[in-house]
């Protein structure tokens, strides 16, 4: 499956939440494999994002904290480069889980919006 690295990053909060949830073993195994397989892509994205923030920003107080903020006058250039970074496609060996395989888990719909690619409806999968 090809996916933009930005989409993968947007799915990280729900992936982290699902990683801590009590879900059926098969779904848990499948998600654990996805997390392991995407670890490098997530790490590289985070590293490149931090480089961009430092390139277009400045360190905030206290000095030496390692926290940076993008300068307002450089925000447009930062966003342009970040958009390009988000568009990079990565190939992941992943077959979407059926919604039914997740068991009786409750998740807020707003959290799923950026991770719809993780799941498929079993009716469509069997069609």
**Cα 41 from Cα 59, distance rounded (Å):** 26
Task: Please report the pLDDT score of residue 64 as a whole number.
Answer: 77
Q: Which two tokens stand for residue 64?
A: 């030496």
**Cα 68 from Cα 58, distance rounded (Å):** 5
Q: Which two tokens stand for residue 16?
A: 């982290």
* Distances 83 to 16, 27, 95 between C-alpha atoms, Å: 24, 32, 26
126 pLDDT band, cuts 50/70/90, is low
Task: Please report the pLDDT score of residue 123 as a whole number.
Answer: 63
Mean pLDDT over each residue of the chain, to the nearest integer: 90
119 pLDDT more than 60: yes
Task: Please report the pLDDT score of residue 124 as a whole number.
Answer: 60
* Cα dihedral 104/95/115/111 (nearest 10): 10
Task: Please tell me the total count of domains within the chain.
Answer: 1
- Smallest CA-to-CA distance from 52 within 29, 25, 73, 79 is with 79
**For residue range 52-71, what is the model confidence (pLDDT) as tens digits?**
999 999 998 887 788 999 99
Beta strands in 15-92 (DSSP E): 57-59, 68-70, 89-91
Mean pLDDT of 10-23: 92
105 pLDDT more than 90: no
Task: Please report the pLDDT score of residue 95 as a whole number.
Answer: 86
**For residue range 66-101, what is the model confidence (pLDDT) as tens digits?**
899 999 999 999 999 999 999 999 999 988 989 888
117 pLDDT band, cuts 50/70/90, is very high
Range of the domain at 81: 2-125
Q: Which two tokens stand for residue 13?
A: 């909060």
125 pLDDT more than 60: no
Size of the chain, expressed as the number of residues it contains: 127
Helices 12-20 and 25-56: angle between axes, nearest 10 degrees: 140
């Amino acid at each position: 499956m090809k996916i933009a690295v930005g989409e993968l990053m947007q799915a990280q909060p729900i992936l982290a939440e699902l990683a801590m949830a009590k879900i059926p073993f098969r779904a848990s195994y499948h998600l654990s494999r996805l997390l392991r397989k995407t670890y490098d892509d997530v790490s590289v994205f985070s590293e490149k994002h931090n480089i961009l923030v430092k390139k277009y920003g400045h360190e905030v107080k206290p000095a030496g904290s390692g926290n940076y903020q993008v300068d307002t006058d450089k925000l447009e250039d930062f966003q342009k480069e970040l958009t390009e970074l988000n568009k990079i496609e990565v190939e992941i060996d992943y077959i979407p889980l059926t919604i039914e395989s997740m068991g009786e888990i409750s998740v807020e719909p707003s959290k799923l919006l950026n991770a719809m690619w993780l799941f498929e409806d079993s009716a469509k999968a069997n069609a």
